[in-house]
Amino acid sequence: MSSNSAGGLVSLQKSVKQLRFEAGIRRIKVSQAAAELKAFCLQNAHKDPLLMGVPSSDNPFRPPKSCALF
Amino acid sequence: MGEMEQLRKEAESLKDEITAARKAVQDLTLQDHVAGTAVVGRVQLKIRKTLRGHLAKIYALHWGTDSKLCVSASQDGKLIVWDSCTTNKVHAIPLKSSWVMTCSYAPSGNMVACGGLDNMCSIYNLKGKDGNVKVMHELAAHTGYLSCCRFLNDNEIITSSGDCTCVLWDIETGSQKTVFAGHLGDCMSLAVAPDFNTFISGACDYTAKLWDIRDGQCRQTFGGHESDINAIGFFPNGNAVITGSDDASCKLYDLRSDQELITYQDSSIMCGVTSIAPSFSGRLILAGYDDFNCNIWDSLKAERVGVLSGHDNRVSCIGVTPDGMACCTGSWDSFLKIWN
């Protein structure tokens, strides 16, 4: 019984220590976080092939229409 | 038992403190901020390639850094390395244990790793002298199944396990450099940050945790999901985390404001999310579901803007190429499909 309590105590002490750490972190305002998330998406949109579409000439997964034999 | 009671009270009060601190920085919601942004137009991706060859359910896939080769793992007991453009099988590696649940391609392209119900992470050398692919190392210490693994480099790999821990291994010596303990349920998935300093894990305790790779510290814990988190990924700028859960929703958590910013869900979707991946800019979130489909979400507006229907069974894994050019889905129907 006493060893169970000791195990439970150690576990609780670790949880409290971890919670203390997490409570103490620095947090930025959501407005700033949201602005930067949105800015990143918009600034990189033109480089996002799945978003912009891939022209067949540049698509490595599409076979070329014509086949040149030398 | 006065001390236990005191600690329990302190734990509750710290949890309240965290909730209050998160609320205190919530001067605006993401929804408010993007109210003026238009939803992206309908995204219609086509199947460009079907990779055929596995004989049973595919459980995992991972793209190589060249955006051409990818590795897949199936419970037919094989790891296959594919040239996704030609659909050729570059390597077909027979596994000792067919109960594989995860695979990973090393950033160098020199190795692949896999693991599953054997509780081990097996490392395979693709560039052996005689051309044969052999097991190079077997990392054994987990007391539960291997759910996910990701290489940091040719000598370090991080694994997540059903034993509720994640581990950073020294591959050469086979030793555990760091054990990341703290989750109260099976760890199901992990993702490494773009700067390789931190990683995130999703677990059956419904939380996601951010870990410092070098000092082993759990820096942040994110809750909100109402069931197991099966899939996790980093937003491309490394400042946010996306998760997919059995509660049928995906969430985006911002790391610096330490909170959930948005949930991706629809009343018509009632099945679990198995896999998740962001597009190159992060504007699209692709998520695989138990209902055989993959939904594409506008990450800022939280609206569904596309569906990938092409599999005849659960989509178990998904990955977008590092160059953003295509997405690959793997399914229990034994096929991998490349879309763009």
Give the pLDDT of residue B38.
95
Does the pLDDT of residue A64 top 80, yes or no? no
* Beta carbons of A37 and B320 less than 8 Å apart: no
* Beta carbons of B17 and A23 less than 8 Å apart: yes
Fold observed for domain B3-339: Methylamine Dehydrogenase; Chain H (2.130.10)
**Which of B27, B239, B281 is nearest residue A48 as measured by Cβ atoms?**
B281
Condensed to tens digits (0 to 9), the pLDDT of residues B255-288 reads: 999 999 999 999 999 999 999 999 999 999 999 9
d(CA B320, CA B82): 15
Quote the domain boundaries for residue A25: 9-47
Give the minimum alpha-carbon distance from B183 to chain A in angstroms, rounded to a whole number.
11
Taking residues A26-37, what's their average pLDDT?
A: 97
Q: Give A5's pLDDT tier (boundaries 50, 70, 90).
A: low
* One-letter identity of residue A21: F
Does the pLDDT of residue B161 top 60, yes or no? yes
Chain B neighbors of A29, CB-CB under 8 A? 25, 27-28, 257
Chain B neighbors of A23, CB-CB under 8 A? 14, 17-18, 21
Query: Residue B24: how many CB atoms within 10 A of its CB?
Result: 10
Q: How far is Cα of residue B63 from the mean position of the Cα atoms in its chain?
A: 12
Does the pLDDT of residue A69 top 70, yes or no? no
Mutation test of the interface with chain B: which of A29, A36, A51, choosing the one with the most B Cβ atoms within 10 A?
Answer: A51
Residue of A nearest to B220 (CA): A22
Residue of B nearest to A28 (CA): B257
Chain B neighbors of A52, CB-CB under 8 A? none
Give the pLDDT of residue B254.
98
Give the pLDDT of residue A8.
87
Give me the residue spans of the domains in chain B: 3-339
For the sheet with B218-222, list strands across it: B187-192, B198-203, B208-212, B218-222
> How many interface pairs between A and B have CB atoms less than 8 angstroms apart?
172
How much of chain B, in percent, has pLDDT values that exceed 70?
100
Give the pLDDT of residue A3.
47
Q: Give B2's pLDDT tier (boundaries 50, 70, 90).
A: confident
**Which of B1, B22, B323 is nearest residue A27 as measured by Cβ atoms?**
B22
Chain A residues near any Cβ of chain B (below 8 Å)? 5, 8-9, 12-13, 15-16, 18-23, 25, 27-38, 40-45, 47-51, 54, 59-62
Mind spelling out the 3-state secondary structure of B136-152?
Answer: EEEEECCCCCEEEEEEE
Under 8 Å CB-to-CB from B315, ≥6 apart: which residues? Answer: B274, B275, B288, B289, B292, B293, B294, B308, B329, B330, B331
Number of structural domains in chain A? 1
d(CA B84, CA B78): 17
Give the minimum alpha-carbon distance from B311 to chain A in angstroms, rounded to a whole number.
19
Give the pLDDT of residue A1.
44
For the sheet with B69-74, list strands across it: B58-63, B69-74, B78-83, B89-94
**Which of A27, A37, A54 is nearest residue B325 as measured by Cβ atoms?**
A54
Give the pLDDT of residue B247.
98
Taking residues A20-38, what's their average pLDDT?
A: 97
Chain B neighbors of A28, CB-CB under 8 A? 25, 256-257
* Beta carbons of A12 and B7 less than 8 Å apart: yes
How much of chain B, in percent, has pLDDT values that exceed 90?
98
* Beta carbons of A38 and B217 less than 8 Å apart: no
Condensed to tens digits (0 to 9), the pLDDT of residues B221-241 reads: 999 999 999 999 999 999 999
Condensed to tens digits (0 to 9), the pLDDT of residues B210-222 reads: 999 999 999 999 9
Give the minimum alpha-carbon distance from B3 to chain A in angstroms, rounded to a whole number.
8
Token representation of residue B338:
């490349």
Q: What's A25's domain CATH number?
A: 4.10.260
Question: What is the helix (H) or strand (E) element at residue B2, kind and residue range?
Answer: helix B2-24
- Is A61 a domain residue? no
d(CA A31, CA B25): 8
Smallest CA-to-CA distance from A48 within B43, B64, B233 is with B43
Q: How far is CA B37 from CA A34, A44, B34, B286, in A?
A: 12, 15, 5, 20
Mutation test of the interface with chain A: which of B42, B280, B294, B307, choosing the one with the most A Cβ atoms within 10 A?
Answer: B280
- Is A58 a domain residue? no
- Is A16 a domain residue? yes
- Is A40 a domain residue? yes
Question: What is the helix (H) or strand (E) element at residue B161, kind and residue range?
Answer: strand B156-161
